[in-house]
Structure formats: C-alpha cells, structure tokens
A and B are shown apart, each in its own frame.
Chain A
Amino acid sequence: MNTEPRLVEVRKNVLKQNDVIARALRDQFRDAGVFVASLVSSPGSGKTALLERTLTLLRPHYRVAALVGDLATENDAARLSRSLAPVKQITTGTLCHLEAAMVQSALGEWDVNHLDFLFVENVGNLVCPSSYDLGENLRLVLLSVTEGEDKPLKYPTIFNSADVAIITKMDLAKAVEFDLDAALHNIQAVRPGMQVFQVSAKTGDGMTGYLGFLRSRQANARAAAIQSAIQSLR
C-alpha cells in the first residue's frame, strides 16, 4: 500500500534555471567591475538609436560593448557597429525575449574584465522581458513620445521590473503634442520614485544628464569591484 501523502510540497522557482545563470553573470560582472545596463521597450521606440549615441559618446573615455537581441536580421548590430564599439547580435528566432543563457553564450570569448560598460538591448517587447533576469545592474525602460503618455498604465509590469525610465524622441514631443506631465505622472503612478530622463538621441538633448548618471553608476560598480578584490586578498 502506498503511504505517501497525496500532496507533496515543492516550492521551486519556475525560472530557477534562468535565475542561476543570471546570478552567475551578475557575480562575474561584479568581479570584473563592468557595469551592465539592459534596455527594454516596445519595438520602434528608439532603443538602437539611443544605444548608438550612448556607445559613440562613451567610447572615447570608456571600454564599451553591446549585445543586441532581435527575432531576426543583423541590422541592429550593423547600425551599432558604426559607434566602433564591439557589438554582437543575438537572434532569437521566434522567441520574444532574451534569457540569461543567451547573454552568457553571446558573451563567448569576450573578456568582461576588459570592459567598463556592457549594454544589452532586449527584443522589442513590453511584456515578456519583464520575467527574465539577465544579470544586469540596471534595467532601463524606454518610452518614446510617439507612443502615448499612457504606456506605463498599460504595461505596469515592465515599468515595475525596470529601475529607470527614459523618455525618448523628445525632439518630436511638440509635433506629436506629447503631454510630458501626464507621462511623468503615469510613470510615478506605476512606479513611485522612479528616476526619469528625457532625451533625444537625434539632437543629443538630455544626453549629458543621462550619461552622467550612467558614469556615476559605473564608478560605483568599479569601486565595489576593487573593494571586494581587496577584501578577498586579506
């Protein structure tokens, strides 16, 4: 006779496999002192344009690299390569989001110890990427002025999984009658206290503040890496 209980308790994280890899990546990034930022947004809200500008402006001063995810084509990697930074395309086929294992395998022979910044551009999608930790230090969610001010209310989960919001294409704000106050209000409604930057990758407006923020976060990551290296020597 079977004496085992009919219900057994398990308590296992469904995405444990992803989380284990993400944690390993985060440890690796921390030890290397590289600052990793990922970008999420709907398709066409300007992730690649912002990233190209970011890489171009940071590259003279920092060792920067980028991974870029798309369902198909190498177009974005080709675009980003114009910044002269090392760039790798991750093509996901039909998968709607990046997973930690894809980041790990795309890094391949790259030595993250020789990087200051690594950017990971997720597949354009405001739903699925929210569930997957990629081991990044900072997740940026982009909202372009052409999308409408209520995007945060429609996709609260992704705004909640991100650390910082960036309103892009600010040069078009007037033409599309973008209501900045409403957008800011909606961001704060779904994620109280969220830091927001307003930029135009095209004109460069707002880039200084946003890059200053990234630089200070990178400096903190570097200081933490040095601190942990010193501690491990003791």
Chain B
Amino acid sequence: MHELSIAMSIVDLVEEEMAVRGVEVEAVHVKVGLLSGVVKDALLTSYEMACMQTPLEGSRLVIEEVPILVDCPNCKVRRPVLSMQWFCCSECGTPTAEVVEGKELIVTALELRQ
C-alpha cells in the first residue's frame, strides 16, 4: 500500500504548480500505467486523504489507465500485450518484453477553479 506516498507526491507536485501559476485547482488528471504498480481505487482513496488540510481539499482526481503496449518484433508495430500474465503480442503471440507504454505515472493536466 504505497498509494498514499504516491498520492502525497501528487499533492506536492500540484501545490508547486499552483504556486508557480497562481491558480486554484478543481481536478487533477493523471495517467496511470497498468505496469506502474499503482492500484486505481487505492490511489483514489489515498488522494482524498492526502488532500486533507491542503489547498487541494475537495478536489477530484481523474485517473486515465494506460494499457500495456509492446513493440512486437514480428509485426514490427506497437501492440497491446495479451495479458499481464502473458507478455506477448496480442495479434501474433510473439513473446516480448519490450514495453513501450504502461509504466507511466504522470500528472497530465489540471482543471482550474474559475
């Protein structure tokens, strides 16, 4: 359960942005890769706790989950993996560990309070 640490990092990062830009934030948009090691529901709960007694109290966290994509050495294109338990191209079944997307843990945008 490291989602609370992650949520606190998000709050720190956004507070910094708020100070720099001189804005108030209503919602924080994040991208969470399925291989980032972060669980969506746990992060949502943790975020609420991390926001308490900060300028972000009451703000929303909008999570976009990013599927795992690999570079298939056979098809020569970017494809989703078959599953977390089976790292192979979902089209041709070639095993590959060349993950190109799905490890993200990034704040992508802020919704401002008008």
Contacts and interface: CB of A to CB of B under 8 A. Distances in A.
A60 B13 CA distance: 46
A136 B35 CA distance: 19
A14 B35 CA distance: 15
Contact of A16 (B13, B88, B110): B13
Contacts of A156: 35, 84-85, 87
B4 to A, nearest CB: 10
A14 B36 CA distance: 11
A6 B110 CA distance: 8
Nearest to B12: A17
Given A14-B6, A189-B85, A189-B86, A131 B105 contact: yes
Given A4-B23, A157-B37, A10 B2 contact: no
A78 interface: no
B108 interface: yes
B1 interface: yes
Nearest to A8: B110
Interface string A4-33: 111111111111111000000000000000
Contact of A2 (B9, B88, B97, B114): B114
Say which size band chain B's interface belongs to: 35 or more
Contacts of B88: 192
Contacts of A10: 17, 107-110
Given A95-B5, A128-B2, A131-B38, A14 B13 contact: yes
Interface in B71-91: 84-88
Given A15-B105, A97-B2, A157 B35 contact: yes
A160 B10 CA distance: 24
Interface residues of A, number: 37
Nearest to A131: B37
Given A12-B13, A14-B105, A5 B112 contact: yes
A153 B82 CA distance: 13
A90 to B, nearest CB: 16
B106 interface: yes
Contacts of B30: 14
A192 B96 CA distance: 6
Contacts of B51: none
Query: Which of A4, A10, A18, A190 has the most chain B CB atoms closer than 10 A to its own CB?
Result: A10
Contacts of B107: 10-12, 14
B97 A191 contact: yes
| A-B pairs with lowest CB-CB distance, top 3 | A192-B95, A128-B2, A130-B37
6 contacts: A11-B107, A14-B6, A15-B9, A160-B97, A189-B95, A193-B95
Given A8-B21, A8-B23, 12 more contacts: A6-B112, A7-B111, A8-B112, A11-B107, A12-B13, A96-B1, A96-B2, A127-B2, A156-B35, A189-B87, A190-B86, A192-B96
